[in-house]
Amino acid sequence: MKISIIKPGLLSTVQDMGRYRYLSQAVPVSGAMDELAHRIANKAVGNNDNDATIEFAYANASFKAETPILISYSGDGAFLVYDDELMPAEKPLFFAAGSVIRLINNPVGVHTYLAVAGGWDVPDVMESKSTYLTAGFGGFKGRKLQKADVLVSRTILNEVSDKILNQLIERSLTYPNWRISRECLLPEKRQKIRVVLANEICWFDATSILSFLTSNYIIDLRSNRMGYHLAGKPLVKKVKKELLSTAVTPGTIQVTGSGDLVMLMADCQTTGGYPRVAHVAAVDLPLCAQLKPGDMIQFSEISRDEAEELYLEREHDLSLITMAISLKYI
Amino acid sequence: MNKQKRYLGTNIPLKIYGLSEKSVTITFGTEIDNDLLDLITDFNQLLLQNPFPGLITTVPAYTTLTVFYNPLNVILSDLPGEVCLEKVSAHLNKIAEINRKESEVMDDHLVIPVCYGGDFGHDLLTVARHNNLCESEVIDMHTAGYYTVFMIGFVPGFAYMGGMDNRLSTPRKEVPAAKIPAGSVGIAGNQTGIYPLETPGGWQIIGRTPLEMFDVNRAQASLLKGGDRVSFKAIAQDEFNTYMGV
B81: left (phi over 0), alpha (psi -120 to 50) or beta: left
Domain spans in chain B, listed from the N-terminal domain onward:
2-106, 108-244
Q: Return the SS3 of A288.
A: helix
Whether B51 and chain A come into contact, CB under 8 Å, resolves to no
The DSSP code for B183 is: T
ipTM rounded to 2 decimals: 0.96
What pLDDT is stored for residue A108 in this prediction?
96
User: Is residue B61 within 8 Å of A287, Cβ to Cβ?
Assistant: no
Q: With an 8 Å Cβ cutoff, are A23 and B57 in contact?
A: yes
User: Is residue B114 within 8 Å of B232, Cβ to Cβ?
Assistant: yes
Q: pLDDT tens digit string along A20-67? A: 999 999 999 999 999 999 999 999 999 999 999 999 999 999 999 999
Residue A146 has pLDDT above 90, yes or no: yes
Q: With an 8 Å Cβ cutoff, are A251 and B20 in contact?
A: yes
Q: pLDDT tens digit string along B94-108? A: 998 875 544 455 567
Over residues A292-319, mean pLDDT: 98
For residue A199, list chain B residues with Cβ-Cβ distance below 8 A: 17, 19, 25
Residue B3 has pLDDT above 60, yes or no: no
Q: Which fold has domain B108-244?
A: Cyclophilin (2.40.100)
Q: pLDDT tens digit string along B32-70? A: 888 899 899 999 999 999 999 999 999 999 999 999 999
pTM of the model: 0.93
Residues 152-181 of B with CB under 8 A from A: 152-158, 160
What Rg value do the Cα atoms of chain A yield, rounded?
Answer: 20
When pLDDT is cut at 50, 70 and 90, the band that residue B9 belongs to is very low
Domain at B2-106, CATH class: alpha beta
Residue A170 has pLDDT above 90, yes or no: yes
Over residues A267-288, mean pLDDT: 96
Percentage of chain B modeled with pLDDT above 90: 78
Residues 62-101 of B with CB under 8 A from A: 62-64, 66, 68, 71-72, 75, 83-85
Residue of A271, A283, A312 best to disrupt the B interface, most CBs of B under 10 A: A271
Q: pLDDT tens digit string along B168-219? A: 999 999 888 889 999 999 999 999 999 999 998 999 999 999 999 999 999 8
When pLDDT is cut at 50, 70 and 90, the band that residue A240 belongs to is confident
Of the two residues B176 and B143, the one the predictor is more confident about is B143
Which residues from A are below 8 Å from B when comparing CB atoms?
20-28, 125-126, 132, 134-135, 137, 196, 198-199, 244-249, 251-252, 269-271, 279, 281-282, 304-305, 307-308, 311-312, 315
C-alpha to C-alpha distance for B121 and B118, rounded to whole angstroms: 5
Q: With an 8 Å Cβ cutoff, are B214 and A135 in contact?
A: yes
